[in-house]
Structure 1
Amino acid sequence: MNIPDVLMVIAVICIWSLLLVNVTLIIAGYLYYIKSENEEMPEIKGELPFVTIMVPAHNEGIVISKTVESLLALDYPHDRYEIIVINDNSTDNSALLLGNIQSRYKNRNLLIISTDAITGGKGKSNALNIGFARSKGELIAIYDADNTPEKMALRYLVAEIMNDSSLGAVIGKFRTRNRDASLLTRFINIETLSFQWMAQAGRWKLFKLCTIPGTNFIMRRSIVESIGGWDVKAIAEDTEISFRIYMMGYRIKFQPKSVTWEQEPQTLKVWFKQRTRWAKGNIYVIVKNIPLLFDKSASRIRFDILYYLSIYFLLLLSLITSDTLLVLHALGYVHTTIAGLSGFLWLLAIILFVVGTFITLTTEKGEMSLSNVWIILLMYVSYCQLWMLVAAYGLYNYIKDLIFKREAKWYKTERY
């Protein structure tokens, strides 16, 4: 067997191993969704806990009013939760809009904290730390500035965490509010449902592990105090704090009935900037937590570490290797005797991708349509291939920031 054949075999084994892991997570996640549909919300005994909802916002004038209004309308006693909006070094009309809302709801627990270029503008983690210093809740909930949570979203999160002392945090899910704005948002909608929430459900079902998303989650105040707040160097502060919660011995549960709706990027440029930021942030978390692979106390979370390592390094390298060899083989520069087999496995992978992804959509009303089959197929040959570029560019930016010792900055996702 020549060198190209050896490289191709290794790449194919890696790709298919991860593909089978994903299929396993989809099956487990689907079973968890079916089970949770028939479960009632846990009863909250005694007085409802006081909750602090924090919303970090930087130049969010386009969406911030709708977000705060939806938070004020949550189905939770008004005297049992406060809303803290951290208007972080904004230069748009956010301060004016927030001031108008505050004047209309004088009898509500609504606090607006405005920072400047000195105290703020240093990223989401810094903004959350500023808000937490002023918070009073025994539970802390986080929502992004473009979110409109459903009325029961917070109550579901509170009920879960109050009925299980082993839970350090409970996460809900976010849905795509502007799903039909463009083909890109259709892709993002499917990606969110299949590769984020179904995978989260599967990881909870199999390993009792979940990763905190950037929005619609709740955690215990004592945890934030114990870990000293959010890591200001972490762009993916949600993933980073998840690992610290794991190491405290807590679990993080996924409650799919807690739903919030958010805007997603409508142009490729905005999407690429957002996703490379996510990739760079997750790579930071991976590197930071690699030593835990050799820590006996971290045995129950090794799957997550290996999972992220596989996605951002092993899968990326395997895809680039196999695609490069297939192209070079077609051009006649290298010869691989298993090119035909690789082509067959590639076709089979597409079929599994389409079928598996469509199955995940059956858990959501209005998503099980024939048009989505074609969207998924188109998504594989276009959107999914862009992921390699996103991951590679995120890694490049991480290394560059490491070399030049650049601090994390607030990356603003454009709103519509």
Structure 2
Amino acid sequence: MLAQLAAIIWTITQPIPAVIPDVLAVRGLLTAFQVVAIFAVLVLLWRTILFGRYRALPGASDDELPTVTVIVPAYNEGPQVLTTIQSIMFSDYPHAKLSVIAIDDGSLDDTWTWIQRGAAAFPDHVIALRCPMNRGKREALYEGFNRATGDVIVTVDSDSELHDDALRNLVTPLVREPRVGAVAGNVRVLNRSQGAIPTMVDVVFTSSFEFIRVTQSEVGAVMCCPGALSAYRRELVDVFKDEWVTQTFLGAPASIGEDRAMTNAVLRLDREVRFQANAIVVTKVPTDTAQLARTFLRWARSDVRETLSLTQLLISRLRASDLGTWINVVSSALAMLLAPLALISVVGLAVVDPGTLIWIAAALVLTSVFPAVLYAHLREPRHAWWAFGYAAYNLLCLSWIQPYALLTPAHSQWLTRSLPVARQRT
């Protein structure tokens, strides 16, 4: 993300001397942009080296595997929640060591009916809980944490489906490496066939999630264990869950970004957080721009809050072993701050001199090359070209999100779980 934003700013600022008077402030700004761009390139090279040496751990044997409680919070999910439960129970994990807690968080539709069907299909393994009213995903997870009995707690979103070996691979680092306190799964898109937006998002997930989390894992500090699939040692969850569920930010309840907050809680307990690329989960993503923008806005707001929290942690315990984490945090913070500058630069130059549009187009192409090559290498070459389409789509439709998130980080509305009237329970 930082490298892409730096490339945009570097490219589009090339014509600035020709369209803006040569004043000291402009020269200073250009120099600052160039320094950031050089830093971004160095970080990208460093991350590429880390990516090249990463190897996911192969799945542990049945005897090694710990007992696991999988928690599935659901709100207005309908029949998909049953498919999610089935994907968990049909996975390659010993049933004697597996339990599921499915929680209906006050849904307005028939989600509770589908959860009950899941519990009836697997009566010895699935517990169905129902909240009388919608209190939010964090509260629903908290209910599950309080009832979990497994040595490891796994969180799975109700719109996600696990690959057969996902659970086994996910918990393996917790078995093999005592210092590891949490593990992030590998999120991919379930509904790619539903249009251009899900296909583009799948390409973005590969570069923004898989590549970045691999490099963060190599320094032992993945910054976000995704709600779609993550594992935590229950002993650690028991330590931080009460403080986590009542978290506030700028005086308001922090009801979004519960996954990033949990990840920071594990890091705060001085445990490592790893990523397992072979623990694959596919999840539904929005198919229209409005819903996608709301999702990204929610993530961006929680990123602001939790990046500040992680920075405070690193400052409080200054040590050489956190250098890799510092690089990732600084990169993340710079990406947040550069986003509004990139947007202002693009709009400003296009207005002042429409001829600079060719530089903007060049910047979009430049920033798309790496995601396209990465997707072609890791996934499917035939869909890699969508990276170029996403660059233009992001500029036109989504580039306002990060600047707006910086201005409204304390807003904690979920934004994406409203239910059409036709699906409401009567």
TM-score, structure 1 normalization: 0.84
Are the structure 2 counterparts of residues 289 and 101 from structure 1 closer, same or farther at C-alpha, using a change threshold of 3 Å?
closer
Q: In 2, are the aligned partners of 1:279 and 1:394 still within 8 Å (CA)?
A: yes
Kept in 2: contact 1:14–1:318 (CA 8 A): no
Selected match of 1:170 from 173, 183, 186? 183
Q: Which residue does 1:92 correspond to in 2?
A: 109
Pairing partner for 1:269 from 268, 290, 303: 290
Q: Equivalences for 1:108-119 in 2 at 5 Å?
A: 108-117=124-133
* Partner residue, 2:167: 154
- Paired residue for 1:355? 369
Aligned counterparts of 2:122 and 2:389: Cα–Cα separation in 1: 47
Instruction: Tell me whether 1:377 sits opposite 2:388 in the alignment.
Output: yes
Residue 330 of structure 1: aligned partner: 353
Cα shift at 1:89: 0.9
2:273 counterpart SS class: strand
**77-86 vs 230-239, which moves further:** 230-239
Does residue 103 of structure 2 align to residue 79 of structure 1? Answer: no
Alignment of 1:27-46 (within 5 A): 27-28=48-49, 30-32=51-53, 35-36=55-56, 40-43=58-61, 46=63
Counterpart among 180, 189, 197 of residue 193 in structure 2: 180
Whole-angstrom distance in 1 between the partners of 2:38 and 2:397: 21
Distance 1:169 1:138 in 2: 12
2:155 pairs with 128, 139, 142, which one? 142
- Equivalence map 1:61-76=2 (5 Å): 61-76=78-93
Query: Residue 383 of structure 1 aligns to which amino acid in structure 2?
Result: N
Distance of 1:235 and 1:21 partners within structure 2: 33
| Contact 2:340–2:402 (Cα < 8 Å) also in 1 | no
Flag the 1:361–1:347 CA change in 2: closer, same or farther, 3 A.
same
Between 302-311 and 64-73, report the one with greater CA deviation: 302-311
Check the 8 A contact 2:169/2:278 in 1, yes or no: yes
Instruction: Work out whether residues 73 and 137 of structure 2, in 8 Å CA contact, stay in contact via their aligned partners in 1.
Output: yes
1:318 and 2:330 are equivalent in the alignment: no
Distance in 1, Cα, partners of 2:26 & 2:378: 43
Question: Is contact 2:103-2:140 (8 Å) kept?
Answer: yes
CA distance in 2, matches of 1:298, 1:129: 33
C-alpha contact 1:83 1:110 (8 A) present in aligned 2: yes
SS in 1 for 2:390: helix
How well do the aligned residues superpose, as a CA RMSD in angstroms? 2.8
Q: Which moved more, 1:314-323 or 1:126-135?
A: 314-323
TM-score by length of 2: 0.82
Report deviation, 1:389. 0.8
Q: 1:348 to 1:323 in 2, by over 3 A?
A: closer
Secondary structure in 1 matching 2:384: helix
- Structure 1 residue 276, shift from structure 2 partner: 0.8
Q: Paired residue for 1:336? A: none
Tell me whether 17-26 or 250-259 shows the greater mean CA deviation.
17-26
Q: Name the CA distance, whole Å, in 2 between partners of 1:149 and 1:157.
A: 11
Between stretches 213-222 and 96-105, larger displacement belongs to 96-105
Flag the 1:13–1:114 CA change in 2: closer, same or farther, 3 A. Answer: same
Q: Distance in 1 between matches of 2:418 and 2:44?
A: 33
Give ranges in structure 1 of 5+ residues lacking alignment: 332-338, 402-407
Task: Name the CA distance, whole Å, in 1 between partners of 2:418 and 2:196.
Answer: 17
Q: How far has the Cα of 1:111 moved from its partner? A: 0.6
The 1:60–1:7 alpha-carbon spacing in structure 2 relative to 1, beyond 3 Å, is farther
SS for the counterpart of 2:374 is helix
* 8 Å CA contact 1:53, 1:83 repeated in 2: yes
Deviation at 1:113, TM superposition (A): 0.8
Aligned to 1:362, the other structure's residue is in SS state helix
Give per-residue Cα distances to partners, 1:123-165, cap 9 Å, x unaligned: 2111111111111011000100011101110001122211100
Q: Deviations over 1:225-251 (max 9, x none)?
A: 111343442411111221221121111
* 8 Å Cα contact 1:15/1:319 also seen in 2: no
1:3, 1:61 → 2: CA distance?
60
Counting aligned pairs with the same residue, the percent is: 20
Give me the whole-angstrom Cα distance separating, in 2, the residues matched to 1:56 and 1:14: 45
Q: Does 1:48 align with 2:71?
A: no
Seen in structure 2, the aligned counterparts of structure 1 residues 298 and 176 have a Cα distance that, compared at 3 Å, is farther
Q: Which residue number in structure 1 is paired with residue 226 of structure 2?
A: 213
Q: Distance in 2 between matches of 1:176 and 1:22?
A: 27
